[in-house]
Structure 1
Amino acid sequence: MSLDNVVEDIRGEARARAEEIREAGERRATEIIEEAEADAEELLEAREADVERQVEQEREQALSGAKLEAKQQRLEARRDVLEDVRSRVEDELASLSGDRREELTRELVDAAADEFDESDDVVVYGRADDAELLEDVLEDYDGFSYGGEHDCLGGVVVESESSRVRVNNTFDSILEGVWEDNLKEVSARLFDQ
């Protein structure tokens, strides 16, 4: 065998080996590319799912926030309406006059008088505009005297130093009790609950 033949055989084997290595390299490159594409696809799907979850979560948060804000606005509007109704009631009570005001004032003094002994010196306070009315009403009660003004819508505050009793029968205090006791019903009527 000649040297040329040996060289040619080695070259042939080298070419064959190079071809095998090239083919193996191409197969491996193809596998790597396919794996990379699969990984990229999985990563893309995962990112899309994450983005969709995040978008849904943000949408839910925005919707929840909007619902909460709407509820707060509704509650504020209701509170404003209730405050307006109460203010109107207070205005009506403050503007009562004539026989109706006298009748209510007498009933409130009567109710307070039951809390005191006949021997007590009792002082009655009321709205400044009701001073004359109170002095007239108190003429019917022994030991009762007008003590001056009390900041209120009407009615009386009655007290005695000797018994240390104080009765608040003002329109304000009665309205407060009635308002608290009936707020749910008033709200239901106003807002059709």
Structure 2
Amino acid sequence: MSLDTVAEDIKDDARERAERIERETDERVDEILADAESDADDIIAEREDDLDSRIEQEREQKLSSAKLEAKQKRLEARRDSLADVRDRAEAAVADISGDRREELTRELLDDAAGEFDDGPVTVYGRDDDAALIESIVADYDGFEHAGSVDCLGGIVAESDASRLRVNNTFDSVFDAVWDEELKAVSERLFQQ
């Protein structure tokens, strides 16, 4: 074998090895690219899922907030409506006049008088009702009209001897009735 043949065999071997290395490198590059593309697709899918989940969560939060705000506005409107009804009802009670006012005031004083065993009993009422209360109190022994109290009508009676105070004002009766009937009033106003 000549030196040229040996050199040629070495060159052929080197070429074959280079081609094999190049093929293996190309295959390895193709594998790496395929893995990278697969990983990229997985990452993109994961991010899309995460983004979809975040969008859905944010949508749910905004929807929940909107529902809560709407509910609060409804409740506020109902409170305002009930307050308006109450104000109008109180005004109607304050405007009771004539025989009806005297009859109610007398009933409230009769009820309060049953609470006192001994006198003297002082009676207070609305300033505008002073003459009415004085005329009613004149029918009771040991009772006297002693001045005014801020109320819609009715009386407040008290005795130092028995250390008792009875609040029989239109306000106290109205408050008790309002509390008892609030649910019915609300249902009637806001029938659903």
Residue correspondences, number: 192
Q: TM-score, normalised by structure 1?
A: 0.97
Q: Which residue of 1 aligns with 2:19?
A: 19
Structure 1 moving runs of 4+ over 6 Å:
none
What amino acid is aligned across from residue 76 of structure 1 in structure 2?
A: E
Q: Which residue of 2 aligns with 1:94?
A: 94
Q: Which residue of 1 aligns with 2:83?
A: 83
Kindly indicate whether residue 43 of structure 2 is the aligned counterpart of residue 43 of structure 1: yes
Please give the alpha-carbon distance, in whole angstroms, between the structure 1 residues aligned to 2:48 and 2:138: 88
Please give the alpha-carbon distance, in whole angstroms, between the structure 2 residues aligned to 1:178 and 1:4: 124
- Identity across aligned pairs (percent)? 60
Please give the alpha-carbon distance, in whole angstroms, between the structure 2 residues aligned to 1:131 and 1:4: 142
Q: TM-score, normalised by structure 2?
A: 0.98
Q: How does 1:128-139 map to 2 (within 5 A)?
A: 128-139=127-138
CA offset at residue 99 of structure 1? 0.8
Q: Which residue of 2 aligns with 1:176?
A: 175
Per-residue CA distance 1:74-112 (angstroms, 9 max, x = gap): 000000000000000110111111111111100100110
Q: Which residue of 2 aligns with 1:186?
A: 185
CA offset at residue 23 of structure 1? 0.7
CA offset at residue 4 of structure 1? 1.3
Kindly indicate whether residue 159 of structure 2 is the aligned counterpart of residue 165 of structure 1: no
- The SS at the match of 1:142 is coil
Please give the alpha-carbon distance, in whole angstroms, between the structure 2 residues aligned to 1:51 and 1:134: 76
Consecutive unaligned residues in structure 2, runs of 5 or more: none
- The SS at the match of 1:93 is helix
What amino acid is aligned across from residue 31 of structure 1 in structure 2?
A: E
CA offset at residue 181 of structure 1? 1.3
What amino acid is aligned across from residue 50 of structure 2 in structure 1?
A: D
Instruction: Say what the alpha-carbon RMSD is for the aligned residues.
Output: 0.8
Stretch deviating more after TM superposition (175-184 or 57-66): 175-184
What amino acid is aligned across from residue 171 of structure 2 in structure 1?
A: D
- The SS at the match of 2:166 is strand
Q: How does 1:8-157 map to 2 (within 5 A)?
A: 8-117=8-117, 119-157=118-156
Please give the alpha-carbon distance, in whole angstroms, between the structure 2 residues aligned to 1:111 and 1:186: 27
